[in-house]
Each structure stands twice: as structure tokens, then as C-alpha cells.
Amino acid sequence: MNDEHSAIKLEAIELEQGISKRVVCVFCGGGTTHEKSMSLTRTDDAIVYHCFRDKCKRRGVVTSKGGFASSTVSKADIKSINNPYTGPTFVLSDNTKKFLCNKFYLDEDDLRGWRETDQQDVLMPLRDRYGSRYGYIDRRYIGLNGSERVPKSINRYENRDVPNLHFPQAVNNNVTTIVLVEDVVSAHRFSKYIPSAAMLGTNLDKRAAVHLRQIGIQNVLFFLDADANKTAEHNRKTHSLLFDQCAAAIRDTDGADPKDMNEEEILFWVEKIPVLLEGK
């Protein structure tokens, strides 16, 4: 095993099964800012690593016995590994409910099935198109916990056979148009007015795109955070042939992210969706 893979093992030596952490990439060094761009996740018998910098994107698996699966390991192989949350969970406290509702304009219905940990981190259920849970987003908020954690969000999958999408509400066969956002909270905000789903990131992968088409989605609008206009447009171009209408919302870069918008701001964009889908 070379020096980089030895370094990965050392970085992950204290990780328990299913736990992830971010570190400076042992291959690219995180660029000039030494960004903690590499994710390490401990499974039952391996360490999965992935650098998210566009100029690196090294990924692979280091086994606990010292073996190494090279960075040619496919995304599908890495994404097939479950990492469920295994600690104790609790019904949201009144304080946590109040914090989430005040911060994101959420209500009791939005928080159905949400849990918190003994560290006061929030566990947001990940649900498939039928409403069945297949994992959680493990999210730390400084306003609740009081201390930093890197990364702030950890995807906890119980069933990786499900496409990487979160549906706040079940989607039936009559739904033909959907808004795609980055995160769970943003999806809940939009779903009050139009069917929505979270991509759990900034890009719609091919498997998730095909899944949407197979369940009857004909039209999609990518509505990403305010600083991701180029990524939204990239998604539009990538998937434009798959859907009848495919659009990206291009916004002022200083605008609020979907999860932070008030009701008036979201309604403004919801009313523009038909026009955006027509490309006007």
C-alpha cells in the first residue's frame, strides 16, 4: 500500500462503523486553501474515500486488512454501501421543534418522523416516492448543539438500492412536473406548493433521472442554491433530452437559498415555473 492509502487508514483509525469525517485530501492537498474536501466513511470491513474537488475526484476503498481497491472503483460500487445511524434516537424536543420551525418556516407536518440524537443533532428522514424511509440526513446545527462538526451533514443510508432522492410527499402517477432542489429542508419548503424532491447534493445522477422518468415525471425544474447557477444549467443540459421540459432557475447570486426563503419569495418562483419550463 502506498503512502496515500496508509494516510487514509491513519485518518480513519478512530472512526466507528457507519461514521464519516472530512479531511484534507491526501492526494491533492485540498488545493491552495487546503480544503477538507475528502470524505472518509468506515464500513464494517473497509474505508470508503472520495475527494469532492473537481480537479481531483479521487475515490476508492481501502480494506481493513490492508488491501486496496484502486480509484477506478465505480461510483455505483461506493454508493452501494449502507451506513445507517446506529446510535439512540429521540423524538424531537420542544426546543428543537421551535428552532427548526423558526429557522426554516417549517411546521409540525414537515417534522413528521424527524428525530434527534443524544448530541442534539437532527435526523431528517430520507423517503422514497412512496413515502417509505430509506435513511436519514444527520445534520448538526450550532444553534442546537453549540459546537462545530465537519461535515455538518452526513447521509445515513439504510437501503442504497433506492435512487438518491428524497420526496417530502409521496408521488403518484398523476404527477408530471417536479422541482429538484439540493437538500431536504428546501424540498419541504417547495412541496407545500408543488411536487418537489431533494437530490441530496447539487447534481442529479443518471440513475435518479431515469427513476423520475419511469415514475411519470415529464418536466423538471432545477432550483439550486443562489451560488450554483452554473451547476443548475449543467444539470439542465445534461438531462434535457430525457424530459419533455427541462429548465434551470437562474437567480441573483446574493439571493436567499430555497430553505431560507419566506413564503412570499417561494410563491414568486412557484408562479414563474410554467414560464421557466417553456424557456421564456
Q: What is the mean pLDDT of each run of 10 residues along the chain (280 residues)?
A: 79 78 89 86 81 85 56 52 86 96 93 94 96 95 87 88 93 94 96 96 91 95 93 94 94 91 94 88
The packing angle between helices 94-104 and 184-191, to 10°, is 70
How many domains would you assign to the chain?
A: 3
H helical segments located in 14-145: 75-79, 94-104, 142-145
Please identify, among 79, 106, 122, the residue that sits at the C-terminal boundary of a domain.
79
236 is a domain residue: yes
Residue 266 pLDDT:
95
Q: Residue 267 — φ and ψ, nearest 5°?
A: -60, -35
Residue 70 pLDDT:
43
Give the pLDDT confidence of 122-133 residue by residue, as tens digits: 999 999 999 999
Q: Residues 67, 17: one domain? A: yes
Record the pTM: 0.74
165 is a domain residue: no
Q: Which is nearest to 131 in space by CA: 177, 172, 182, 80?
A: 172
Q: Residues 95, 75: one domain? A: no
Long-range contacts: 31-37, Cβ < 8 Å, 24+? Answer: 31/55, 36/150
Residue 230 pLDDT:
93
The whole-angstrom separation of Cα 133 and Cα 14 is 29
Q: Which is nearest to 75 in space by CA: 220, 184, 203, 240?
A: 203
Strand ranges of the sheet holding 177-181, from the earlier edge strand across to the other edge: 196-198, 177-181, 219-222, 245-248
The whole-angstrom separation of Cα 105 and Cα 153 is 20
168 is a domain residue: no
Range of the domain at 144: 89-157
Give the pLDDT confidence of 212-233 residue by residue, as tens digits: 999 999 999 999 998 899 999 9
Q: Residues 34, 110: one domain? A: no
